[in-house]
Amino acid sequence: MPRKGRTMMGVLDGKVALITGAARGIGFAAAKRMGQEGASIVIADIDALSAEQAADRFQADGINALAIPCDVADAEQVAQLFERAIAHFGRVDILVNNAAIQKIEPLLAKTPETFDRVLAVNLRGPFLCIVAFAKHVQRRGGGGVIINVASALGIRPAPQYADYACAKAGLLALTKVAAQELAPLDIRVNALIPPATRTELNREFFAKPEVVNAIMERLLIKRIAEPDEIADAFVFLASDASRFMTGQALILDGGYLAT
C-alpha cells in the first residue's frame, strides 16, 4: 500500500536531507520517501512557488520540510542555500544532487549558450553543492552522504543529448573523485542512474517519437518508470543499509545498459 506519512521508526530518523530539484519529479519522490523514513527535508529548487507548495504538501503529511529557492549553477545562491538550511535545521547530513535540465536537439543545432547552461546546472551545480556540503561536514566533525543523480546517457550516449550526456558522464567521474577525497571525512558518495522516467524534465523527450523509440528499443522493461518506483533507492543509498558502499553507481535503468 502507498505510504502517506512518515513511518513510526524510520531508518533516517534525525537526519536532514537537502535535495536539489525537489519540487517535482524524481527529486520530489525522493524527498517524500526520505521524509517518510524520518528525515527532515530541504527542498531546493529554482521554482520558488513549486518548492513552497511541495513543502506544504510534506508538512501536511507530517514531514518536516523547508523550501529554499536556488539556482544551483550560482555559487552565491548555493552558499546561501546551505547557510539557510543549517540555520534552520542545525545541520545537513544528506545531499542529493538531483537538479537538472536538458535540451534535446541535434549537435549542429546546439548553441554555446545552451551547451554551457546544461553543463552549469547538471555538473557545475553538483560540484558547488558537494564542496559546500563537505565544508559543512568538516566543520561539524565528519559524517555524511552524497547521492548524485546521474544517467545511463552518461555511459551510453544517445543522439541529440550531446550536452546532457557530457554533463552526466562528468557527474559519474565527479562521484568517484569526491568519494576518494571525502572518505577521510566519513562522507560516502554514490551515484544513482535512474531509468527513463515520467517527469516534467522529460516532457521534451516524450514529444520526440524518434528519440523515445531509440531509448525504448534498448529497454528490457518496456515502459516508462514513475518517480515513486525509484524513491526507495534513495533511502537505501542514504541509510546504513549501504554503509560499505562508496564511489559506485547504482543502476536502475530498466535494462538500458544491459543491451
Residues annotated as catalytic are 164
Which residue from 250, 234, 240 is spatially nearest to 41, judged by alpha carbons?
234
Question: How many CB atoms sit inside 10 A of residue 116's CB?
Answer: 13
d(CA 59, CA 56): 5
Question: How many CB atoms sit inside 10 A of residue 193's CB?
Answer: 22
Residue 131: partners with Cβ closer than 8 Å, 6 or more residues away: none
DSSP state of 123: I
The three cell numbers locating residue 108: 549542429
Q: Which residue has the cell 529557492?
A: 69
d(CA 207, CA 93): 38
The residue type at 20: T
Widest pairwise Cα distance in the chain = 54
